[in-house]
Amino acid sequence: MLPSYTDRMAKHRVYLIPGFFGFTHMGEKPAERIVYFGHVRDVLLEGFQKRGHTAEVEPLTGHPTASLEVRARLLLRSIEESAANDDAAIHLVGHSTGGLDARGLVSTWIPRQAPHLLARVRSVVTVATPHHGAPMARFFLEDRRGEMLLRLLWLFTVFSLRRGPRPMMFLAFRLFYALSETGHQLGFQATLLDQVTRLLAHLSPTEQATLEEFLAQVGKDQSIIGDLTPEKLVDFNRNNPDRAGVRYGSVITGAPPPSLLGMLRAITGKNDPGMGDLVSLRMLDPEPEVIYGAYSFLYKKSGPNSRELVTPEPSPTQDRQLRDVFEEYRSRSDGVVPTRTQLWGELITAVIADHLDVLGHYDDPPEHVGWLRSGSHFRSPQFQGLWDRVLDFMVDGSEARP
């Protein structure tokens, strides 16, 4: 008897690894739940099917802000449990810090603790990953407002993605950021955070408990911040060389630098605002201004021109590809991670996008809602094209290795 079509198709297991502050989902109601990799998982499953392959695509979660070592141990535990019952090819896709997790797993933790899985690993895809360091980590390490700001940034992201833009929330975020400078001195940190949680989120008791537990984890262990400094990444790269037989590739992101024109575009919602737009009622809405202000602040702190950030020169072909997309990519950032620190292995694709656009969290309601008004104009066609290239990369790598 001939095998069925399903039996003849390749089988893949794709593990999606979130970055700093990463989570699998938040919210009880399916219609309101936000999922870190939700849009990515859908497009990958559909893409494998169109290519005639069966696949399981599984988002992973560990500790949101623990060290790279702690995160890797937690992630490996989940991989071992789900991959034990088949011999499918394994692909690791890491966003932001998750890309470092993926590399560490393949180079160190899988060979050391689960060597039986190593031969099944086909590819490592890193997306907007700070392979050579994130200068922003220095701000969080050295500024006494760091812990409060980290919590508020995560809270801000979750509420924005879940509920959509709400002007009062953004005003409150700006207010609480200003207050955070004195929060530690006055002992208001927990009280402010609780008030933001209850006042703005309107969460159910279960959701509230989940959020508070998550934020408690962030408060207790922020070791990953130290791991992301440029000097620590030098050690990480030396201790985690690429594994032979595994295909490594990277997705590179960069967003437009903040500017007056960018702010006007964010406020008016138009690419080429005119005088009529500037005197319209839109200018009275504080939401776009605050969102763009948050983006501008993060972009500056991301330090694309930081002297402490030392990156290797790309190949001539990669340099040309990056210049074709970003022009002067060495001074670009996606609002969180400098563009020039993201290249590792093959260059799968480079896109004008901010740090969360590539996850499907961009402004294209109702299916897609983003919180960074970066002016990238990243939308569904770019999103589909990006992940189509990642799919081709994973499938080609599987076919090349026996």
In sequence order, what are the residues at sequence separation of 6 or more whose Cβ sits closer than 8 angstroms to the Cβ of residue 281? none
In sequence order, what are the residues at sequence separation of 6 or more whose Cβ sits closer than 8 angstroms to the Cβ of residue 330? 304, 339, 340
In sequence order, what are the residues at sequence separation of 6 or more whose Cβ sits closer than 8 angstroms to the Cβ of residue 341? 130, 131, 132, 133, 134, 309, 311
In sequence order, what are the residues at sequence separation of 6 or more whose Cβ sits closer than 8 angstroms to the Cβ of residue 383? 39, 43, 357, 358, 360, 362
Say if residues 361 and 383 touch (Cβ distance below 8 Å). no
Q: Give percent above pLDDT 70 in the chain.
A: 63
Q: Kindly indicate the confidence band of residue 103, based on its pLDDT and cuts at 50, 70 and 90.
A: very high
Per-residue pLDDT for 260 more than 60? yes
Tokens, residue 113: 């603790």
For residues 271-295, give the mean pLDDT: 63
Going from the C-alpha of 211 to that of each of 26, 27, 103, 155, 380, the distances in angstroms are 8, 9, 29, 9, 30
Structure confidence at residue 140 (pLDDT): 72
Q: Which residue has the higher pLDDT, 198 or 111?
A: 111
Structure confidence at residue 25 (pLDDT): 44
Structure confidence at residue 266 (pLDDT): 66
In sequence order, what are the residues at sequence separation of 6 or more whose Cβ sits closer than 8 angstroms to the Cβ of residue 188? 179, 182
Structure confidence at residue 86 (pLDDT): 87
| C-alpha span between 78 and 153 (Å, rounded) | 27
Per-residue pLDDT for 188 more than 60? no
**Can you state the percent helix, strand and coil of the chain, rounding each to 5?**
55, 15, 35
| C-alpha span between 277 and 282 (Å, rounded) | 8
Q: Kindly indicate the confidence band of residue 163, based on its pLDDT and cuts at 50, 70 and 90.
A: very low
Looking at this protein, which amino acid is placed at residue 216? A
Per-residue pLDDT for 161 more than 60? no
Residue 88 CA neighbour count, 13 Å, CB half = 25
Architecture of domain 1-137+225-402: 3-Layer(aba) Sandwich (3.40)
Per-residue pLDDT for 121 more than 60? yes
Q: Which residue has the higher pLDDT, 34 or 120?
A: 120
pLDDT tens digit string along 11-32? 899 999 988 755 544 444 444 3
List the alpha helices (DSSP H) in 187-222.
Answer: 189-201, 205-220
Q: pTM for this structure? A: 0.80
pLDDT tens digit string along 60-96? 876 556 678 888 888 999 999 999 888 999 999 999 9
pLDDT tens digit string along 38-68? 789 999 999 999 999 999 999 887 655 667 8
CATH 3.40.50 residue ranges of the chain are 1-137+225-402
Structure confidence at residue 274 (pLDDT): 67
Compute φ and ψ for 304, nearest 5 degrees: -60, -25
Query: Average pLDDT of the chain?
Result: 77
pLDDT tens digit string along 296-348? 888 988 999 999 899 999 999 999 999 999 999 999 999 999 999 999 999 99
Structure confidence at residue 329 (pLDDT): 95
Q: Kindly indicate the confidence band of residue 178, based on its pLDDT and cuts at 50, 70 and 90.
A: very low
pLDDT tens digit string along 353-378? 999 899 998 877 777 777 677 888 89
Sign of CA dihedral 39, 44, 45, 47: positive
Q: Which residue has the higher pLDDT, 217 or 327?
A: 327
Structure confidence at residue 65 (pLDDT): 61
Per-residue pLDDT for 352 more than 80? yes
Q: Which residue has the higher pLDDT, 214 or 378?
A: 378
| C-alpha span between 337 and 322 (Å, rounded) | 15
Tokens, residue 325: 């997309």
Tokens, residue 348: 């799968």
Identify the CA nearest to 40 among candidates 386, 333, 374, 348: 386
Say if residues 255 and 299 touch (Cβ distance below 8 Å). yes
Per-residue pLDDT for 154 more than 70? no
Burial of 144 (0-12, 13-18, 19+ CB in 10 A): exposed
